[in-house]
Structure 1
Amino acid sequence: MSFSLSKDINPSSVFIERKANVIGRFDPLYFRPDLVALEKKVRSVAKHQLRDFVRSMVGGATPSTKEAETHYTGRHDGIPFIRVQNLSTTGRLNLEDCKFITRSTHEGLLRRSRLKGGELLVKITGVGRMAVASVVPDDFDGNINQHMVAIRTENTASSEALASYLNLDIAERLASRRSTGGTRPALDYPALLSIPVVLDVRIPELMRRAVDSYKLKLAEASRLLETIDDLLLDDLTIRREPERQHTIENRIFFRNLTELSGGRFDPIAAQEKRRTLEGSIRSAHYPVAPLRQVVSFSKVLVDRIDEGDTYVGLENINGETGEYVATTEKESVGTAIRFKSGQILFPKLRPYLNKTHLAAFSGVASTEFHTFTAQRADAKYLTAFLRSKVIVGITTLLMTGNTLPRLQTSDIEQLPIPIPPVVVQKRICEQIDRIRAKAFALRDRANTELRQAKRDIEALIIGKGVSA
């Protein structure tokens, strides 16, 4: 007796597999016909598995945030702590949103996972793309968390060739086929090492050219986005003061006691740069009000993430654009803050990362954000101003704490906000929207061209008549 399925059924969703072929694994995903066919095609040209290139392999760990003062620190004296979001399908590390650990933690608790130049880092757990790979730069001092492994290969060239291959879509599909777990998929070490590898000498150079072109377009998009600050400050008639030289003379200053009464007494907050920045805002053409008079703050705390809720942490906000970026799904929280669409999320922690975000949906966020609703200003305009270099410059000088530098609520409430007429706010927003649209179009083009380059490479290495 035999069974057959209707031709109208999607064969990747509903299919029949012979019992004799079900060996070792029993999950349906592993036996999807398209993945089985892909594996067969790749194996027909692959002479190796990933294990053939591994000289040593080590996983990482994450220090407890309950002992943050012991384990974590700032950029200026810390060791880069590489997380999944720092890996990139370009094969190069992205350190724009990087955490830092103390040297004592790096050399003590996490000494096993200290990185060496030329090592291959591969993602092994978490939602989204599996087996994302990046190569550790030469002379790089860093460490990793438990969601990736560091692989020591024969040399940097081998790691780069493997990263170029693993970041192709065909390799990612083979890696995902081997993963297990529903909520948080994972690749165990045997599964990772069993991935078939096609090493074609042409791949690294082709990928290098594609990535260089991709980076150039992203750099051009970044230059466009940087013009937003000039446009905003020009329209608000806020002058930009030249940066003072970092000399001993310029770092020494005096303040009258009356200038400090009722405020901060620490020298960082009282230095001349902050006075200059705030003075440039107050001397502009439009009236200025403290932030607390421009917005209404809200603080609705929750102790769980409900089904359907999107969680927003600092790591979910792109510091360059303020966009929300989905990362590994967070399953639970101790405490979070609820926000609504149209509200502004303003960071308390490390303001120099510029994580201010205008919410386009409702959800829950890290308590490292303040949430407020614009009252006396357009929300989009206010978000743009809070993301400007002049505000980031002020807030950076208002941080307190060395390990986890934060802003005090009272300092945030006093931030000076220019309030131009509504028509001016709208004009500024329209100009910003046009610049962002051009930059995002350029970025989308870069992503499209990189994806096409990868497809061309895939066709080259597993196409008909091509051998590895």
Structure 2
Amino acid sequence: MQCFVVQSDEIEGRLDVFYYQPEFIELERKIKKHSSKTLGDFIINISSGATPEKDESEKYYTVSSENGVPFLRVQNVTESGLNLEDCKYINFDTHNGMLKRSQVKEGYLLTKITGVGRMAISSVAPKGFEGNINQHLVAIKTDGYQTSEVLAAFLNSDIGERLAFRRSTGGTRPALDYQALKTIPVIFKPGIVDIMQSAYAQKKQMEAEAQGLLTSFDELFLEHIGLKLPEVKQTKIFVIDSDELEGALNAERYANRFKLDHSFKWVTVGNIGSINRETFVPSRTNADIEYSLIRIDDLDSNPSLAVLRHVRGKDINGTALKVNPYDVLIARLVPTIENKKFVLAPESDKPLIASTEFIDLRCNSENNPLFVLALLKTDFYRHVMIQKSRGATPSRRRLSHEDFTKLPLPKIALEIQNKIADEVKRRISEAERLRAEANKIIEEAKKKVEEMILGD
């Protein structure tokens, strides 16, 4: 328990203890020695968006930039800039009608105002950009692109994050209202932009090297066993025989045509292991037990390792999948298949559980799980899994457990599998080293920025 005294002249309207913690008071005193400006002094206009009804997705959304504009959500706004990798799009009617007031133009400062994690994460809309935002972000018009860049660098600093966090309200889902956002003290230091941009450029390059190690598995199989996975060619007009029908009648399911290498013996996923579908409700079964939870949302695109979140059963909503170490977990929603969110369940000193949106493959003793994971991470299998998915809405289509078990796999001797798995393990280790080094570069840059801001 922390005890401290607050003088009456330090009261600023809020009466909660959190707001007056000594570390916050001391930080703001340091800031005021250098500047009396606040974020509000730089705001010409500020607006927040909304999320159109998903039940009427055809009315509001579109699948590409050809028929609409990017619809930015919290995950698209990062400290290193806008990330449009997993971006949704709204059509022009929605952009110019329902969400007209929250339109985003180049040079706008985009800031996160609600949600867990770091508060006030900010990006600047790049040159030529036009888009929109949901209700968890604000779009701020400043006097120019350079001003927005400096403000974003400041808000993304550890100092900016603490100042924003102090002004947030709410328990499990903190938020910043407009007034709180405008009162954030700002020290305007243009030099911090170059420091952070240089660091993020190095980080981007190192992460690209790391990603390259994890996306060249096709070459790995060709080099070690001479397996050249077929190219998947999609045609718009085609003919199939009646005996090729597999129940579902959606055309996309049969559009991708490919021929397997007949120099290999082929089996199905169902032949190399079993599908685990054991689920339970942690909040009802073992509410006080702490679990190691694997969530799809916690995984980056094409992750090298699983991310474990330690959480008690009572804090887990709904059903969870019981998993074992070395189970192969395949995210089955089409957007997550596109991003290859497939991982190996790691060892843990706590019971392992995962989202039920994973397919859990438990390999038998004749197959190396890491070898199987690497094979499924190739572009060929990604295309085939997307092809076999079912559902009316593209973003909600899923790969069924039954269709997954029918996927063809080459039958490879365990000794060779182990050799390839060792190389995969080496690449994963090197990729993790590069990512750790990249993160260290960012942390060192942030320390320089903090020193520059406070003049230490």
TM-score, structure 2 length as denominator?
0.84
Alignment of 1:52-451 (within 5 A): 52-68=41-57, 70-72=59-61, 74-75=63-64, 79-90=69-80, 92-241=81-230, 252-258=237-243, 260-262=244-246, 266-271=250-255, 273-276=256-259, 279-280=260-261, 283=262, 285=264, 287-301=265-279, 308=290, 312-324=294-306, 335-342=318-325, 343-350=327-334, 351-360=337-346, 365-375=354-364, 377-400=367-390, 401-404=392-395, 405-451=397-443
Summarize the Cα distance change of 1:312–1:437 in structure 2 as closer, same or farther, 3 Å threshold.
closer
Summarize the Cα distance change of 1:80–1:172 in structure 2 as closer, same or farther, 3 Å threshold.
same
Figure out how many residues of one structure are paired with residues of the other and give that number: 439
Summarize the Cα distance change of 1:28–1:228 in structure 2 as closer, same or farther, 3 Å threshold.
farther
Letter in 2 for 1:462: L
Q: What per-residue deviation string (whole Å, max 9, x for no partner) do you get for residues 42-64 of structure 1?
A: 12112410001111111222334
Superposed displacement of residue 26, structure 1: 3.1
Q: What per-residue deviation string (whole Å, max 9, x for no partner) do you get for residues 90-143 of structure 1?
A: 2x1122233344555444443332322221111112221111101112333433
Superposed displacement of residue 297, structure 1: 2.3
Superposed displacement of residue 402, structure 1: 4.5
Summarize the Cα distance change of 1:191–1:290 in structure 2 as closer, same or farther, 3 Å threshold.
same
CA distance in 2, matches of 1:119, 1:310: 40
Maintained 8 Å contact 1:345/1:356: yes
For the aligned residues, what is the CA RMSD?
Answer: 3.2
Superposed displacement of residue 434, structure 1: 0.9
Q: Which moved more, 1:55-64 or 1:35-44?
A: 55-64
3-state SS of the aligned residue for 2:4?
Answer: coil
CA distance in 1, matches of 2:98, 2:124: 23
Superposed displacement of residue 151, structure 1: 1.0
Q: What per-residue deviation string (whole Å, max 9, x for no partner) do you get for residues 376-403 of structure 1?
A: 5232222222222110121233344344
CA distance in 2, matches of 1:98, 1:160: 22
CA distance in 1, matches of 2:387, 2:402: 14
Maintained 8 Å contact 1:125/1:147: yes
3-state SS of the aligned residue for 1:372?
Answer: strand
Maintained 8 Å contact 1:68/1:403: no
Q: What per-residue deviation string (whole Å, max 9, x for no partner) do you get for residues 299-351 of structure 1?
A: 34556765645665543222222544589x99988854423243333233212
CA distance in 1, matches of 2:142, 2:206: 31
Q: What per-residue deviation string (whole Å, max 9, x for no partner) do you get for residues 341-383 of structure 1?
A: 4333323321222122323365665543333322352322222
Superposed displacement of residue 189, structure 1: 1.7
Give 1:16's aligned residue: 4
Q: What per-residue deviation string (whole Å, max 9, x for no partner) do you get for residues 211-247 of structure 1?
A: 2222222222222222334214433432145687x9x
Summarize the Cα distance change of 1:309–1:60 in structure 2 as closer, same or farther, 3 Å threshold.
farther
Maintained 8 Å contact 1:15/1:33: no
Q: What per-residue deviation string (whole Å, max 9, x for no partner) do you get for residues 197-219 of structure 1?
A: 11123222232222222222222
Give 1:7's aligned residue: none
Summarize the Cα distance change of 1:145–1:339 in structure 2 as closer, same or farther, 3 Å threshold.
farther
Summarize the Cα distance change of 1:346–1:99 in structure 2 as closer, same or farther, 3 Å threshold.
farther
Superposed displacement of residue 40, structure 1: 1.0
Maintained 8 Å contact 2:218/2:228: no
Letter in 1 for 2:298: N
Letter in 2 for 1:357: V
Summarize the Cα distance change of 1:100–1:377 in structure 2 as closer, same or farther, 3 Å threshold.
farther
3-state SS of the aligned residue for 2:321?
Answer: strand
Gaps of 5+ in 1: 1-12
TM-score, structure 1 length as denominator?
0.82
CA distance in 2, matches of 1:82, 1:191: 22
CA distance in 2, matches of 1:382, 1:288: 14
Maintained 8 Å contact 2:302/2:342: no
Summarize the Cα distance change of 1:63–1:396 in structure 2 as closer, same or farther, 3 Å threshold.
same
Give 1:3's aligned residue: none
CA distance in 1, matches of 2:405, 2:377: 15
Summarize the Cα distance change of 1:23–1:334 in structure 2 as closer, same or farther, 3 Å threshold.
closer
Letter in 1 for 2:382: V
Summarize the Cα distance change of 1:453–1:263 in structure 2 as closer, same or farther, 3 Å threshold.
same
Summarize the Cα distance change of 1:366–1:58 in structure 2 as closer, same or farther, 3 Å threshold.
farther
